[in-house]
Structure 1
Amino acid sequence: MAATTVVQTNDTRDGIKTSVAASGENVPSPPFEPFTFQGQKDTKDLGLPWSARFPLALEARAIESIPSAISMLRRFTETGQLRSLASHHGGAILIRGLPIKTPLDYSRVAHALGLSPHIEVGRPPLRTVLAPNVKTANEGPPELPIWPHNEYGWSTINPAWLTFCALKVPASGGATPLTSSIYIATQLEERAPAFLEQLRSRGARYTYRYTTEQLVSNTGNSIRGAYGEHVTDEDDGETFRRKVEAEIRRHSERFEWHDDGSLSVTHVVPAIRIHNPTGLKVFFGNITSAWGRSRYHGATRHPFRGDDGSYHPPPQFGDGSPMDVNDLDTLLNIAEEGAVNVNWEKGDLVIIDNYAVQHSRQPWVGERLVLAALWDDDRGERIGDVPEGLELLRQAPKFPIVQTIET
C-alpha cells in the first residue's frame, strides 16, 4: 500500500481538529492504517457533499493484547476522531486486526468507545446475552437473509450506535451489507418522489406479532422474550399481562391480545428524518426489512402468517393506508443495490451510526458467530425530524430504560 501524505487542518464538522490526507480524506492517527476492500463506495455518490470511502476501513497495527486495544480505542474516542471519522465516512467504520477472541474481549473493547449501553424494549429477534451489553446478533436460521434496516427504526426507542464483532467466520456467505440511509433518501427523491413525500408527511406504521413460545424465525421472539423484563415464573395470567402491557407502553399505546394468546403491538413513527451530524435527510426505519420478510415468507395477505410460523405484516403508512407494492419494491431495491458487503474476518469490529446506516445479513454455510452491542449517545440527539415527524412523535410514548453496565 502506498504511503499516505498527511497534513493538519481544522475541520469544522463536529468542531474537531483532524488529520486530513493530501487527497482531502480524513485519516486517523497511528496505530491505524486505512485500507481498501472491494465494493467500497464514495460518499459523494451516496448524497454527501464530500468524497470519502464508505465505510472507512482501518487496520490496527501492533495491537497484540486486549488492554492495548482498550487503550487505543479510548484515545480514538476521547480525541474526537471516532465521531469525526464516522461523520466524514458516511457513518460506518470497520476496524481489522484487533485481538478479540471471546465475547468478554469484545465487551471490554466496545465499552472503551465510551458509549452508554442501550436497553432493548420489545425485541423481535432471538438474542442471547454472552457478556456485558454483548449479545448474539440474531439467532434466526442461517439460510434466511435479514433485509436492510435501521436498528429499532420501527420504535420510538432506538440506539444511536451499533457495534458488531465476528468471532467465527463461516465457510461461505454471511456478509453484513451496509447501506447509507442518506443514499436511500437521495435515490427515493430521484426514483419515487411521490412515495418519498408520502413517507415524509404520513410516516410509517409497523405491527409486530409475538407468540406465546419462541419460533425458529428471524422475528421469532416470544411475548416474554420481548416484554418480560419484570415477569416471573410465579406470575398468574393477569399479572403477566399487566407487567407486559407496562413495558409495551414505554413505546406504544397500540396493542391487541389475540385468542391464541399471541400479542400484536403497532407503532407509528417518522420514516424520513434529519441526520443531525450532517444536516442531511435520511430514510430511517424498517420498511425495507418488513417488506422483505413479508414478501419472502408469503405473508403479504391477512392474517400475514408466513411459512416459518411467524407473523410478518407488511408496513403501512402511519394513517393505516397500504403502501404501493411497486414503491415498496423500488425502496428495497435501492437499499440492496446501494449496499457494501462486509465480509468478516475473525476479530473484525464494525462501528455503525444507526441513524446514518442500514445493515442486513446474507445467508451462510458453516459456523458463524457475529455478536452485537447496542449503544446510546450521551452527547445529545443525533436524529431530528420534519414538522410532520414531530407531530407523529408527539402522539407516541417514549420511555426508555436507562441503565449503566459495568465491565
Structure 2
Amino acid sequence: MTTENAWLPRILRPADVGADATPQGLEEYLRATDVARLLAEERAVYFRGFGITADSYDGAADLLLANRLAYVHGNSPRTKVGRNLYTSTEYPAEFEISMHNEMSYAHAWPSRILFFCDVAAATGGATPLVDGRLWLESIDPEIRAAFAAGVRYTQNLHDGMGFGKSWQATFETEDRAEVETFLDGAEAEWGWQPDGTLRVTQLRRATLEHPVTGTEVWFNQADQWHIAGLGDDAAALAEIIPEDELPQNAFFADGSPIPAEYITHVQEIGMKTAVDVAWEAGDLLLVDNVAVAHGRRAFTGQRRILVAMA
C-alpha cells in the first residue's frame, strides 16, 4: 500500500496574485483567471486574506461557481441559508466526518464545491482533504477488488417522523410526483411503503476516472452509508431498527453484505492520507469534487462553514 502524501492544496493570498486584499480584489483576479485550469492543476485552492464576509460572498462565489446547485437528494443534515447556499453540516462538533466526495452515491454529483469560513472554530475543525488517487492506491488490493462491481446504496426516507432525513427534506419538495420523476431520471429503484416511507436503491460505481485528467480515483460513500461506519453507535442502532429499515446502508453490487472491517479500513486510510489546513475567517476553499475528497475534524467553539456546489 502507498501511504506517502506529496499533494497539498494551494493557498493563494493577495500578494501571491498581485491583487488588493479586498473582496473586489479577489473578484478582479478571478475575472482575469482561467479558474477551470487553475482547479485542474491544483485540485483544491484556498483564497485567503481577501476579507470575504457573508455580505460580500456572492460576488466571488458567482465567479467560482457558474450555476449553484440545490442540495437535492443530499443525505447530510444541512440548513439552506441563501441562494443554494447551505451550512456545511450539522453533525455534532465532537465527531469527525470521514472522507467523501460529495454525493458520490448519486446519479449526478457536483464537479466543484465551494466552502466559505464565516466563523472559524476555537480549536480543531479543519476540513481534511485527500487526493482520490492516493486514497485508491492506499486501500488494500483485496478490498479494492471486492468493490470492483460497484456499491448498492439503500435509503429509507420517512414521511416526517423517524430516524434520519425525511423524503421531503431530502428532495426539498412536498410533491411525490416530483420525487418520482427525479428518481426515474436518476436510474434508481424506488417504492412507497404503507407508512409513507420512501425506499430507494441505487447501484453506483466505486471508482471513477477524472473527466479531465483520466486519473482513476476512489469515489463512493459506502463507508459513510454502511452501519459499521457509524462507529460506536452502530450496535445500538442495529438493536433498535431492523437492517432493511435503517435510514441508509450500503452493500456490494450484488446485494451481499460488506464486511465491517472493510469499512473501517477504508475510513482509516482516508483519514490517514488526508491533509489539513486550519480555517481562517473569510477563507474560500474551492475543491474539485472528483479529484479530491473532504471530511471534517472535530472542533470546539462556534464554527460556521457554508457550502455551495456547481
What RMSD over aligned residues (CA atoms) do the two structures have, in Å?
Answer: 2.8
Corresponding residue of 1:98: 50
- The structure showing larger relative contact order (alpha-carbon pairs under 8 Å, at least 6 residues apart) is 2
Tell me the secondary structure at the aligned position of residue 125 of structure 1.
coil
Q: Distance in 2 between matches of 1:59 and 1:374?
A: 23
Q: CA deviation at 1:285?
A: 1.3
Q: CA deviation at 1:301?
A: 7.7
Which structure 1 residue ranges, 5 or more long, are not aligned?
Answer: 1-43, 232-239, 376-407
Worse-superposed segment, 154-163 or 179-188: 179-188
The TM-score normalised by the length of structure 1 is: 0.67
The alignment status of 1:203 with 2:150, answered yes or no, reads yes
Corresponding residue of 2:209: 274
What is the CA deviation profile of residues 168-205 of structure 1, one whole-angstrom value per residue up to 9, with x for unaligned ones?
112112111111111111112xxx223212322x1011
Distance 1:299 1:243, change over 3 A: farther
Equivalent residue for 2:40, pick from 87, 106, 113: 87
The alignment status of 1:178 with 2:178, answered yes or no, reads no
Written as runs of structure 1 = structure 2, the 5 A alignment for 1:331-370 is 331-370=266-305
Q: Distance in 1 between matches of 2:279 and 2:191?
A: 40
Total equivalences in the alignment: 303
What is the CA deviation profile of residues 242-293 of structure 1, one whole-angstrom value per residue up to 9, with x for unaligned ones?
3432333232432233444332222111111211322221110112322464
Q: CA deviation at 1:311?
A: 3.9
Written as runs of structure 1 = structure 2, the 5 A alignment for 1:5-404 is 45-46=4-5, 53-61=7-15, 63-76=20-33, 80=34, 82-89=35-42, 91-102=43-54, 104-113=55-64, 115-188=66-139, 192-200=140-148, 202-213=149-160, 220-229=164-173, 231=174, 240-291=175-226, 293-298=229-234, 305=241, 311=246, 313-375=248-310
Q: Distance in 1 between matches of 2:202 and 2:266?
A: 20
Task: Check whether the contact 1:228–1:243 (CA below 8 A) recurs between aligned residues.
Answer: no
Q: Distance in 2 between matches of 1:296 and 1:166?
A: 30
Worse-superposed segment, 110-119 or 337-346: 110-119
Task: Check whether the contact 2:118–2:304 (CA below 8 A) recurs between aligned residues.
Answer: yes
Fraction of identical pairs, as percent: 27
Letter of the aligned partner of 1:196 in structure 2? Answer: R
Q: Distance in 2 between matches of 1:92 and 1:55?
A: 5
Task: Check whether the contact 1:74–1:113 (CA below 8 A) recurs between aligned residues.
Answer: no
Tell me the secondary structure at the aligned position of residue 28 of structure 2.
helix
Q: Distance in 1 between matches of 2:193 and 2:112?
A: 35
Task: Check whether the contact 2:151–2:250 (CA below 8 A) recurs between aligned residues.
Answer: yes
Q: Distance in 1 between matches of 2:94 and 2:246?
A: 18
Which structure 2 residue ranges, 5 or more long, are not aligned?
Answer: none
Task: Check whether the contact 1:294–1:314 (CA below 8 A) recurs between aligned residues.
Answer: no
Distance 1:304 1:137, change over 3 A: farther
Q: CA deviation at 1:304?
A: 7.7
Q: Distance in 2 between matches of 1:356 and 1:275?
A: 7
Task: Check whether the contact 1:169–1:368 (CA below 8 A) recurs between aligned residues.
Answer: yes
What is the CA deviation profile of residues 362-394 of structure 1, one whole-angstrom value per residue up to 9, with x for unaligned ones?
22221111000101xxxxxxxxxxxxxxxxxxx
Indicate the structure (1 or 2) with the bigger Cα radius of gyration.
1
Tell me the secondary structure at the aligned position of residue 268 of structure 2.
helix
Letter of the aligned partner of 2:62 in structure 1? Answer: H
Q: CA deviation at 1:322?
A: 1.4
Task: Check whether the contact 1:121–1:247 (CA below 8 A) recurs between aligned residues.
Answer: no
